[in-house]
């Protein structure tokens, strides 16, 4: 139909359509082509079919490893170059990862930093050393050892890496950290001040237990536990030895009665 027809699609600053790779905790994954300017909500809920298992949409990471994480309260945001930039994300290669409420945003930041550290050429100090120090701070948070001073260091260091790196990789590498700090600072503070991971992902900050009032002694968790940390006879409430538990979550996944609790 021609270039003029194509340019009628999209927004004033972002013409046409865009192909995105939609993956993560969404029912319909794959490559999708949508008009520029479509909202995050419409893309996730209408095209992607929403989040499976009745879980709640939490955030979407847009733009590849150097992209940013946009929370649910901003899912009305139109997907165009200017709007994403203002929100702390980038269009990048069109990668989109949908996350639900079982996702820890501190862990997400670590995941992308791992990749970016490997991709860094190491020529400039901000990127070479800054990303590694950022990763160290995030590890401290995951282990419940961080402080509010470390949180401020992470913020300032991320901004220094963004402003001081020689190339676009280093300049955009802090985006996963900066956006999770911007939109999910309460999760960081929960790790630091409460010693808890709200999403129950960081192993050093969670414990598993069995509620005897809900356990019917089906032995499913006993058979599934790789460490032999769960004991009990059939049709009797089981017990979990926390000193043997490696926090793999196998018991939680296999229990059909909600007797295994994560805190």
pTM of the model: 0.88
Is pLDDT at 1 greater than 80 in this prediction?
A: no
The mean pLDDT value for 104-129 works out to 96
pLDDT tens sequence across 16-64: 999 999 999 999 999 999 999 999 999 999 999 999 988 999 999 999 9
Please tell me the distance from the alpha carbon of residue 263 to that of residue 239, in angstroms, as a whole number. Answer: 16
Q: Where are the domains of the chain?
A: 3-100, 105-194, 207-262
pLDDT tens sequence across 79-95: 999 999 999 999 998 99
If you classify domain 3-100 with CATH, what class do you get?
alpha beta
3-state secondary structure of 246: coil
- The dotted CATH code for 207-262 is 3.30.70.20
Distances in Å between the alpha carbon of 9 and those of 6, 12, 24, 62?
A: 6, 9, 27, 21
pLDDT tens sequence across 198-218: 999 999 999 999 999 999 999
Are 46 and 72 in contact by the 8 Å Cβ rule? The answer is no
Which architecture characterizes domain 105-194 according to CATH?
Up-down Bundle (1.20)
Is pLDDT at 97 greater than 80 in this prediction?
A: yes
20: buried, middle or exposed (CB in 10 Å: 19+, 13-18, 0-12)? buried
């Amino acid at each position: 139909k021609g270039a003029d027809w194509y340019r009628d699609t999209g927004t004033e600053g972002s013409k046409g359509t865009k192909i995105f790779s939609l993956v993560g905790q969404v029912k319909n994954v794959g490559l999708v082509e949508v008009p520029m300017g479509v909202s995050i909500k419409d893309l996730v809920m209408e095209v992607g079919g929403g989040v499976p298992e009745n879980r709640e949409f939490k955030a979407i990471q847009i733009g590849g490893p150097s992209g940013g994480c946009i929370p649910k309260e901003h899912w009305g945001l139109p997907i165009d170059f200017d709007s994403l930039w203002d929100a702390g994300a980038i269009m990048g290669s069109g990668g989109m990862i949908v996350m639900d409420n079982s996702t820890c945003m501190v862990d997400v930041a670590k995941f992308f930093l791992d990749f970016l550290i490997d991709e860094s050429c190491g020529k400039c100090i901000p990127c070479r050393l800054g990303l590694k120090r950022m990763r160290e701070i995030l590890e401290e948070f995951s282990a419940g050892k961080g402080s509010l001073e470390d949180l401020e260091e992470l913020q300032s260091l991320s901004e220094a890496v963004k402003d001081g790196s020689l190339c676009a990789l280093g300049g955009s590498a802090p985006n996963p950290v900066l956006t999770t700090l911007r939109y999910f600072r309460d999760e960081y503070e929960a790790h630091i001040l409460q010693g808890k991971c709200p999403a129950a992902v960081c192993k050093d900050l969670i414990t598993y237990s069995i509620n005897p009032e809900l356990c019917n002694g089906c032995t499913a968790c006993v058979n599934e536990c790789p460490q032999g940390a769960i004991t009990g006879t059939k049709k009797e409430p089981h017990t979990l030895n926390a000193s043997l538990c490696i926090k793999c979550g196998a018991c939680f996944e296999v229990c059909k009665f909600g007797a295994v609790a994560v805190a």
